[in-house]
Amino acid sequence: MADIRDLARYLNISTGTVSRALNNRPGVNAKTRARVLEAAGEIGYVANQSGRNLRRGATNSIGFLVETGEASKPENGEFFFTVVDQMTLYLSERGYDLVVLPCHSADDPVEYLARTVARGAVDAMVITATRRHDRRIELLAQTQLPFLALGRSESGGEFPWIDLDFAGVARRSVAELLALGHREIAVGLPQTEAMLGYHYLWGFQSAMREAGLDPEKCISFRAPNSEAGWTDVVEMLVTSDRRPTAVMLCTDATTVWLYRALERCGVRPGRDLSVVTFREHPQASFLNPAPACFRVDVAALGRLLAVEVLALLNGANGSAGSEQGILVPMEFVSGASIAPPPVAVEQRA
């Protein structure tokens, strides 16, 4: 294992500069910091602070990297707390600690991860909020640190992952709406480049094409993160030349904002516009009518993450380490927010 002196010699700079770069302290320009972080991975640098544990061969800690901007969103807070709680419980029973690593929204996620890996504070890493092109995965793939991703990506080649079946959710949503007579369906996607949004969109498109419908003629939009933004979306939907009779959302708690916006515009969910949201969320239980959604055992997902990351750490591929990873299905929960479209109701009458 290389130490800080080896890293300084490798770069031909002082150990003080290396230390400041690794700890993100002032006095080091961005170019030098990037060089240090890249070289740390290249030569296998591990911080001396882990020396005592390294002599034993392990730190007995698993890192859980979360970007605080994502975790603080109302639809994600409850999800991450439950996952972390169950992972902590499972790992502690087996002599491991779960170290939550919060990457601030103002920090660069790749640099933050590079610093964390260079310090050698954990034996394995779990990352979340994967993107379609994710440089964090590319970085981890070049290190010797075992890692598991909650989510898929097109970066980094093959790597171990666990993901919810977003495409399956979208396909089932389309099937339920088509069975009720809907043909004009709008789809709301995340604001970010999260990979989950792409899988959801691909599932929607394939289901529509299989039904003989053109998904390109349907309205797709980025689900806003504010109540005012949802009012704009609803006004756009109800004034469109191809006004949809149903909307599908790849979001959770923002359904509350949608309902409020619909109420302001005099549109009743279920009666005037059918709504299928994503994951069953505690806040949604207060909505009337109850939204159609999908259920997943988040506690079981947390335990599964813990089981799989330990398998990777112990040298076993596990199911997440297979070529296909682990795809977690979700159960459809019907609700009064979906009904035959108004036109279909009039025709039946």
37-41, 225-229, 246-250, 337-341: the lowest-pLDDT one: 37-41
CATH of 166-296+331-348, picked from 3.40.120.10, 3.40.50.720, 3.40.50.2300, 2.40.50.140, is: 3.40.50.2300
Residue-level pLDDT at 51: 46
**CB-facing half-sphere around the CA of 259: CA atoms within 13 A:** 20
Rounded mean pLDDT of 253-258? Answer: 85
Q: pLDDT at residue 126 above 70?
A: yes
My answer on whether omega of the bond before 289 falls inside 30° of 0, hence cis, is yes
Listed in sequence order, the DSSP H helices in the chain are 4-11, 15-22, 30-43, 51-56, 68-71, 74-92, 109-119, 135-141, 166-179, 195-210, 227-239, 254-264, 298-313, 342-348
The pTM for the full model equals: 0.81
Alpha-carbon distance of 107 to 136, in angstroms, equals: 13
Coil/strand/helix, residue 249: strand
Residues carrying CATH 3.40.50.2300, the chain: 166-296+331-348
Q: What confidence category does residue 74 fall into, taking pLDDT thresholds of 50, 70 and 90?
A: very low
CATH of 1-45, picked from 3.40.50.2300, 3.90.600.10, 3.30.1950.10, 1.10.260.40, is: 1.10.260.40
- Name the DSSP letter for residue 48: G
Question: Which residue did the predictor score with more confidence, 14 or 305?
Answer: 305
Output the CA–CA distances (angstroms, integers) from residue 64 to 115, 126, 148, 210, 305, in the order listed: 14, 5, 10, 39, 10
The tens digit of pLDDT for each residue in 75-89 reads 556 889 999 999 999
Structure tokens at 142: 């070049």
Rounded mean pLDDT of 315-327? Answer: 76
Residues carrying CATH 1.10.260.40, the chain: 1-45
Question: Which residue did the predictor score with more confidence, 34 or 187?
Answer: 187
